[in-house]
Amino acid sequence: MARILIVEARFYEHLNDLLLAGARSAIEQAGHEHETLTVPGALEVPGAIALADESGDYDAFVAVGVVIRGETYHFEVVSNESARGIMELTLAGLAIGNGILTVENEDQALVRADPAQLDKGGGAAGAALVMMELRQRFVS
Protein backbone atom coordinates (compact mmCIF):
# COMPACT_ATOMS: atom_id res chain seq x y z
CA MET A 1 0.00 0.00 0.00
CA ALA A 2 1.40 3.37 -1.05
CA ARG A 3 1.03 6.73 0.71
CA ILE A 4 -0.25 9.49 -1.51
CA LEU A 5 -0.33 13.16 -0.53
CA ILE A 6 -3.05 15.29 -2.11
CA VAL A 7 -2.00 18.94 -2.12
CA GLU A 8 -5.01 21.18 -2.66
CA ALA A 9 -5.06 24.88 -3.45
CA ARG A 10 -8.26 25.80 -1.68
CA PHE A 11 -9.19 28.88 -3.70
CA TYR A 12 -12.70 27.77 -4.74
CA GLU A 13 -14.02 25.56 -1.95
CA HIS A 14 -17.06 24.00 -3.65
CA LEU A 15 -15.06 23.10 -6.77
CA ASN A 16 -12.18 21.77 -4.71
CA ASP A 17 -14.50 19.51 -2.76
CA LEU A 18 -15.46 17.82 -6.04
CA LEU A 19 -11.84 17.45 -7.17
CA LEU A 20 -10.90 16.04 -3.77
CA ALA A 21 -13.75 13.54 -3.84
CA GLY A 22 -12.63 12.24 -7.23
CA ALA A 23 -8.96 12.05 -6.24
CA ARG A 24 -9.66 10.32 -2.93
CA SER A 25 -12.01 7.83 -4.52
CA ALA A 26 -9.49 6.87 -7.22
CA ILE A 27 -6.71 6.38 -4.65
CA GLU A 28 -8.95 4.30 -2.38
CA GLN A 29 -10.17 2.17 -5.28
CA ALA A 30 -6.52 1.45 -6.12
CA GLY A 31 -5.98 0.29 -2.53
CA HIS A 32 -3.71 3.10 -1.35
CA GLU A 33 -3.71 5.53 1.59
CA HIS A 34 -4.00 9.30 1.26
CA GLU A 35 -3.61 12.47 3.26
CA THR A 36 -4.55 16.00 2.25
CA LEU A 37 -2.46 19.13 2.66
CA THR A 38 -4.17 22.47 2.05
CA VAL A 39 -2.48 25.62 0.75
CA PRO A 40 -4.07 28.98 -0.16
CA GLY A 41 -3.63 28.96 -3.93
CA ALA A 42 -2.15 27.19 -6.93
CA LEU A 43 1.09 29.14 -6.70
CA GLU A 44 1.83 27.48 -3.35
CA VAL A 45 1.30 23.93 -4.60
CA PRO A 46 4.76 23.19 -6.08
CA GLY A 47 6.54 24.53 -3.01
CA ALA A 48 4.29 22.54 -0.70
CA ILE A 49 4.97 19.34 -2.66
CA ALA A 50 8.72 20.01 -2.56
CA LEU A 51 8.63 20.57 1.21
CA ALA A 52 6.47 17.52 1.86
CA ASP A 53 8.78 15.37 -0.25
CA GLU A 54 11.62 16.24 2.12
CA SER A 55 9.85 14.13 4.75
CA GLY A 56 10.27 10.99 2.66
CA ASP A 57 6.80 9.96 3.80
CA TYR A 58 5.03 9.94 0.42
CA ASP A 59 5.24 7.79 -2.68
CA ALA A 60 3.32 10.16 -4.95
CA PHE A 61 1.49 13.48 -4.99
CA VAL A 62 -1.75 14.75 -6.48
CA ALA A 63 -2.14 18.49 -7.07
CA VAL A 64 -5.71 19.81 -7.16
CA GLY A 65 -7.07 23.30 -7.52
CA VAL A 66 -8.92 25.66 -9.81
CA VAL A 67 -7.65 28.77 -11.58
CA ILE A 68 -10.37 30.83 -13.25
CA ARG A 69 -9.47 33.64 -15.63
CA GLY A 70 -10.05 37.13 -14.21
CA GLU A 71 -9.42 40.50 -15.74
CA THR A 72 -5.65 40.69 -15.51
CA TYR A 73 -2.45 38.86 -16.41
CA HIS A 74 -2.62 37.14 -13.01
CA PHE A 75 -4.40 34.17 -14.61
CA GLU A 76 -1.42 33.46 -16.85
CA VAL A 77 1.02 33.79 -13.95
CA VAL A 78 -0.91 31.44 -11.66
CA SER A 79 -1.71 28.90 -14.40
CA ASN A 80 1.69 28.79 -16.03
CA GLU A 81 3.87 29.05 -12.95
CA SER A 82 1.99 26.42 -10.96
CA ALA A 83 2.23 24.03 -13.93
CA ARG A 84 5.90 24.91 -14.46
CA GLY A 85 6.70 24.26 -10.80
CA ILE A 86 4.92 20.93 -10.86
CA MET A 87 6.68 19.95 -14.09
CA GLU A 88 10.07 20.85 -12.64
CA LEU A 89 9.40 18.55 -9.70
CA THR A 90 8.22 15.83 -12.08
CA LEU A 91 11.42 16.11 -14.12
CA ALA A 92 13.38 15.91 -10.85
CA GLY A 93 11.81 12.49 -10.33
CA LEU A 94 8.74 13.02 -8.15
CA ALA A 95 5.54 11.16 -9.06
CA ILE A 96 2.86 13.84 -9.46
CA GLY A 97 -0.54 14.04 -11.09
CA ASN A 98 -1.59 17.59 -11.96
CA GLY A 99 -5.28 18.21 -11.36
CA ILE A 100 -5.13 22.01 -11.25
CA LEU A 101 -7.86 23.21 -13.61
CA THR A 102 -7.13 26.35 -15.64
CA VAL A 103 -10.44 27.51 -17.07
CA GLU A 104 -12.31 30.49 -18.47
CA ASN A 105 -15.30 30.31 -16.13
CA GLU A 106 -16.96 28.40 -13.30
CA ASP A 107 -19.16 26.31 -15.62
CA GLN A 108 -16.06 24.86 -17.30
CA ALA A 109 -14.58 24.13 -13.87
CA LEU A 110 -17.72 22.42 -12.60
CA VAL A 111 -17.95 19.96 -15.49
CA ARG A 112 -14.28 19.08 -15.08
CA ALA A 113 -14.27 18.81 -11.28
CA ASP A 114 -17.46 16.75 -10.89
CA PRO A 115 -16.59 13.04 -10.35
CA ALA A 116 -19.81 12.16 -12.20
CA GLN A 117 -18.70 14.13 -15.27
CA LEU A 118 -15.07 14.63 -16.38
CA ASP A 119 -13.58 13.76 -12.96
CA LYS A 120 -10.26 15.54 -13.37
CA GLY A 121 -9.40 14.90 -9.71
CA GLY A 122 -9.72 11.17 -10.28
CA GLY A 123 -7.74 11.50 -13.49
CA ALA A 124 -4.91 13.32 -11.74
CA ALA A 125 -4.80 10.64 -9.03
CA GLY A 126 -4.62 7.97 -11.73
CA ALA A 127 -1.73 9.80 -13.37
CA ALA A 128 0.11 10.05 -10.05
CA LEU A 129 -0.25 6.29 -9.55
CA VAL A 130 1.10 5.59 -13.03
CA MET A 131 4.11 7.83 -12.36
CA MET A 132 4.62 6.14 -8.99
CA GLU A 133 4.77 2.76 -10.70
CA LEU A 134 7.29 4.08 -13.25
CA ARG A 135 9.39 5.47 -10.44
CA GLN A 136 9.29 2.14 -8.61
CA ARG A 137 10.26 0.36 -11.84
CA PHE A 138 13.11 2.61 -12.96
CA VAL A 139 14.51 4.22 -9.79
CA SER A 140 16.08 2.00 -7.20
Ligand X SMILES: CC(=O)[C@@H](O)COP(=O)(O)O
Ligand Y SMILES: Nc1c(NC[C@H](O)[C@H](O)[C@H](O)CO)[nH]c(=O)[nH]c1=O
Helix H or strand E segment including 13 = helix 13-29
The question of whether 32 is a catalytic residue gets the answer no
Of 50, 52, 75, 133, which one interacts with ligand X (CB under 6 A)?
A: 75
103 makes contact with ligand X (CB under 6 A): no
In three-state secondary structure terms, 68 is strand
Q: Is 64 annotated as a binding residue?
A: no
Bridge partners, 68 (sequence order): 103
- Check binding of 68 to ligand Y (CB under 6 A): yes
14, 32, 34, 74: the catalytic one is 74
65 binds, among ligand X, ligand Y, none (CB under 5 to 8 A by kind): ligand Y
Task: Answer with the entry of ligand Y, ligand X, none that 58 interacts with (C-beta below 5 to 8 A by kind).
Answer: none
Q: How far, in Å, CA of 65 to CA of 41, rounded?
A: 8
